[in-house]
Amino acid sequence: MKSTLLTLATAMIVTVVSTTTTFAGPGHEHGDGKHAGGHMDHMNDVLQKLKTELGSEYGKPVPAASKEQLVLGKKVFAQSCVACHGASGKGDGPAAAGLKKKPADFTDTEHSKFYSDQGRIHIIKKGIAGTPMSGWEAVLNEQEIQSVHAYVRSLRNSANKEKHGHSNHAH
Protein backbone atom coordinates (compact mmCIF):
# COMPACT_ATOMS: atom_id res chain seq x y z
CA MET A 1 0.00 0.00 0.00
CA LYS A 2 2.74 2.43 0.95
CA SER A 3 4.76 1.48 -2.07
CA THR A 4 1.70 1.82 -4.31
CA LEU A 5 1.22 5.35 -3.10
CA LEU A 6 4.86 6.10 -3.59
CA THR A 7 4.78 4.76 -7.13
CA LEU A 8 1.64 6.76 -7.78
CA ALA A 9 3.24 9.93 -6.49
CA THR A 10 6.32 9.35 -8.61
CA ALA A 11 4.25 8.56 -11.68
CA MET A 12 2.26 11.74 -11.17
CA ILE A 13 5.32 13.91 -10.80
CA VAL A 14 6.99 12.36 -13.82
CA THR A 15 3.89 12.67 -16.01
CA VAL A 16 3.01 16.15 -14.88
CA VAL A 17 6.55 17.32 -15.56
CA SER A 18 6.71 15.63 -18.94
CA THR A 19 3.30 16.94 -20.04
CA THR A 20 4.07 20.48 -19.03
CA THR A 21 7.35 20.41 -20.90
CA THR A 22 6.13 18.61 -24.02
CA PHE A 23 2.84 20.42 -24.37
CA ALA A 24 3.64 24.09 -24.48
CA GLY A 25 1.24 24.56 -27.40
CA PRO A 26 -2.50 25.15 -27.28
CA GLY A 27 -3.96 22.98 -24.55
CA HIS A 28 -6.69 20.46 -25.04
CA GLU A 29 -9.41 21.93 -22.94
CA HIS A 30 -12.23 19.63 -22.18
CA GLY A 31 -14.72 22.48 -22.12
CA ASP A 32 -18.08 21.86 -20.55
CA GLY A 33 -18.64 18.33 -21.66
CA LYS A 34 -18.51 19.06 -25.37
CA HIS A 35 -15.52 17.70 -27.18
CA ALA A 36 -13.65 20.41 -28.97
CA GLY A 37 -11.88 19.60 -32.24
CA GLY A 38 -8.38 19.25 -30.80
CA HIS A 39 -9.56 16.84 -28.17
CA MET A 40 -11.35 14.68 -30.73
CA ASP A 41 -8.19 14.61 -32.86
CA HIS A 42 -6.27 13.43 -29.86
CA MET A 43 -8.83 10.74 -29.10
CA ASN A 44 -8.84 9.58 -32.70
CA ASP A 45 -5.04 9.32 -32.59
CA VAL A 46 -5.25 7.25 -29.42
CA LEU A 47 -7.94 5.10 -31.04
CA GLN A 48 -5.78 4.41 -34.10
CA LYS A 49 -2.83 3.53 -31.91
CA LEU A 50 -4.92 1.14 -29.81
CA LYS A 51 -6.26 -0.57 -32.94
CA THR A 52 -2.75 -0.96 -34.32
CA GLU A 53 -1.33 -2.32 -31.09
CA LEU A 54 -4.19 -4.68 -30.31
CA GLY A 55 -5.10 -5.81 -33.82
CA SER A 56 -8.07 -8.19 -33.79
CA GLU A 57 -8.01 -8.19 -29.98
CA TYR A 58 -9.37 -4.65 -30.04
CA GLY A 59 -12.97 -5.57 -30.69
CA LYS A 60 -13.11 -8.73 -28.56
CA PRO A 61 -15.89 -8.57 -25.99
CA VAL A 62 -14.98 -8.48 -22.31
CA PRO A 63 -17.28 -10.67 -20.19
CA ALA A 64 -19.67 -9.06 -17.72
CA ALA A 65 -18.08 -8.26 -14.39
CA SER A 66 -18.37 -10.66 -11.48
CA LYS A 67 -19.30 -9.38 -8.04
CA GLU A 68 -15.78 -10.11 -6.83
CA GLN A 69 -14.29 -8.05 -9.66
CA LEU A 70 -16.48 -5.09 -8.79
CA VAL A 71 -15.48 -5.28 -5.12
CA LEU A 72 -11.76 -5.56 -5.89
CA GLY A 73 -12.03 -2.99 -8.68
CA LYS A 74 -13.62 -0.45 -6.39
CA LYS A 75 -10.78 -0.90 -3.92
CA VAL A 76 -8.11 -0.53 -6.60
CA PHE A 77 -9.88 2.53 -7.96
CA ALA A 78 -9.99 4.15 -4.53
CA GLN A 79 -6.27 3.52 -4.04
CA SER A 80 -4.85 4.30 -7.44
CA CYS A 81 -7.26 6.28 -9.58
CA VAL A 82 -9.38 8.67 -7.47
CA ALA A 83 -6.65 11.30 -7.24
CA CYS A 84 -7.34 12.20 -10.86
CA HIS A 85 -10.56 10.45 -11.85
CA GLY A 86 -12.46 11.46 -8.72
CA ALA A 87 -14.47 9.39 -6.27
CA SER A 88 -17.46 9.31 -8.60
CA GLY A 89 -15.32 8.75 -11.72
CA LYS A 90 -16.31 12.08 -13.23
CA GLY A 91 -12.72 13.16 -13.70
CA ASP A 92 -12.83 15.66 -10.86
CA GLY A 93 -10.29 14.25 -8.42
CA PRO A 94 -8.15 16.61 -6.34
CA ALA A 95 -5.17 16.20 -8.69
CA ALA A 96 -7.24 16.90 -11.82
CA ALA A 97 -7.36 20.66 -11.30
CA GLY A 98 -3.65 20.95 -12.01
CA LEU A 99 -3.68 18.79 -15.14
CA LYS A 100 -3.59 20.23 -18.62
CA LYS A 101 -5.22 17.14 -20.02
CA LYS A 102 -8.29 16.34 -17.99
CA PRO A 103 -9.14 12.80 -16.98
CA ALA A 104 -12.05 11.11 -18.70
CA ASP A 105 -15.56 11.25 -17.24
CA PHE A 106 -16.38 7.60 -16.75
CA THR A 107 -20.05 8.34 -16.14
CA ASP A 108 -20.48 9.99 -19.54
CA THR A 109 -22.05 7.17 -21.53
CA GLU A 110 -21.14 8.56 -24.90
CA HIS A 111 -17.52 9.24 -24.06
CA SER A 112 -16.97 6.03 -22.18
CA LYS A 113 -17.93 3.99 -25.22
CA PHE A 114 -15.45 5.71 -27.50
CA TYR A 115 -12.73 3.13 -26.90
CA SER A 116 -13.58 -0.56 -26.77
CA ASP A 117 -13.33 -2.49 -23.51
CA GLN A 118 -10.09 -4.13 -24.67
CA GLY A 119 -8.85 -0.69 -25.66
CA ARG A 120 -9.53 0.64 -22.20
CA ILE A 121 -7.84 -2.32 -20.52
CA HIS A 122 -4.83 -1.63 -22.74
CA ILE A 123 -4.92 2.03 -21.67
CA ILE A 124 -4.98 1.02 -18.01
CA LYS A 125 -1.95 -1.24 -18.61
CA LYS A 126 0.12 1.03 -20.83
CA GLY A 127 -1.18 4.54 -20.20
CA ILE A 128 -1.71 7.18 -22.88
CA ALA A 129 1.52 8.69 -24.16
CA GLY A 130 1.79 12.44 -23.72
CA THR A 131 -0.94 12.59 -21.04
CA PRO A 132 -0.92 12.21 -17.25
CA MET A 133 -2.54 8.78 -17.67
CA SER A 134 0.30 6.43 -16.86
CA GLY A 135 0.43 2.67 -17.30
CA TRP A 136 -0.37 0.49 -14.30
CA GLU A 137 0.92 -2.92 -15.33
CA ALA A 138 4.00 -2.55 -13.13
CA VAL A 139 1.86 -1.69 -10.10
CA LEU A 140 -1.29 -3.79 -10.49
CA ASN A 141 -1.56 -7.46 -11.34
CA GLU A 142 -3.74 -8.80 -14.17
CA GLN A 143 -6.66 -9.53 -11.85
CA GLU A 144 -6.54 -6.02 -10.39
CA ILE A 145 -6.40 -4.48 -13.86
CA GLN A 146 -9.36 -6.53 -15.13
CA SER A 147 -11.27 -5.68 -11.96
CA VAL A 148 -10.62 -1.95 -12.02
CA HIS A 149 -11.67 -1.91 -15.67
CA ALA A 150 -14.87 -3.74 -14.74
CA TYR A 151 -15.52 -1.24 -11.98
CA VAL A 152 -14.89 1.76 -14.23
CA ARG A 153 -17.20 0.26 -16.85
CA SER A 154 -19.90 -0.14 -14.21
CA LEU A 155 -19.85 3.64 -13.65
CA ARG A 156 -20.89 4.20 -17.25
CA ASN A 157 -24.61 4.15 -16.64
CA SER A 158 -24.54 6.02 -13.38
CA ALA A 159 -25.41 9.33 -15.05
CA ASN A 160 -27.73 10.49 -17.82
CA LYS A 161 -28.95 7.11 -18.95
CA GLU A 162 -31.38 8.66 -21.36
CA LYS A 163 -28.89 11.09 -22.89
CA HIS A 164 -27.19 8.83 -25.37
CA GLY A 165 -26.68 10.86 -28.50
CA HIS A 166 -24.63 9.81 -31.51
CA SER A 167 -23.62 13.33 -32.42
CA ASN A 168 -19.91 13.38 -33.15
CA HIS A 169 -18.54 10.10 -31.92
CA ALA A 170 -17.57 7.46 -34.39
CA HIS A 171 -18.27 4.05 -32.94
If binding is defined by CB under 6 A, does position 84 make contact with ligand HEC? yes
Q: Specify the DSSP class assigned to residue 140.
A: S
Helix (H, G, I), strand (E, B) or coil at 127: strand
Within 13 Å, how many C-alpha atoms sit on residue 10's CB side?
10
CA gap 115, 124 in Å, rounded: 12
Interface of this chain with ligand HEC, residues 28 to 47, rule: CB under 6 A: 46
Whether residue 53 contacts residue 122, with contact meaning beta carbons closer than 8 Å, is answered with yes
- Residue closer to ligand HEC by CB (options 54, 95) is 95
Q: Which of 83, 125, 135, 159 binds ligand HEC (CB under 6 A)?
A: 83
Q: From the CB of 84, what's the least distance to ligand HEC, in Å?
A: 3
Cα angle, residue 124 at apex, residues 119 and 125 outer, rounded to 5°:
95
CA gap 81, 134 in Å, rounded: 10
If binding is defined by CB under 6 A, does position 150 make contact with ligand HEC? no
If binding is defined by CB under 6 A, does position 148 make contact with ligand HEC? yes
Q: From the CB of 14, what's the least distance to ligand HEC, in Å?
A: 10
Q: Write out the residues near ligand HEC by the rule CB under 6 A.
A: 12, 15, 46, 80-81, 83-85, 95, 99, 101-104, 111-112, 114-115, 120, 123-124, 128, 131-133, 136, 148, 152
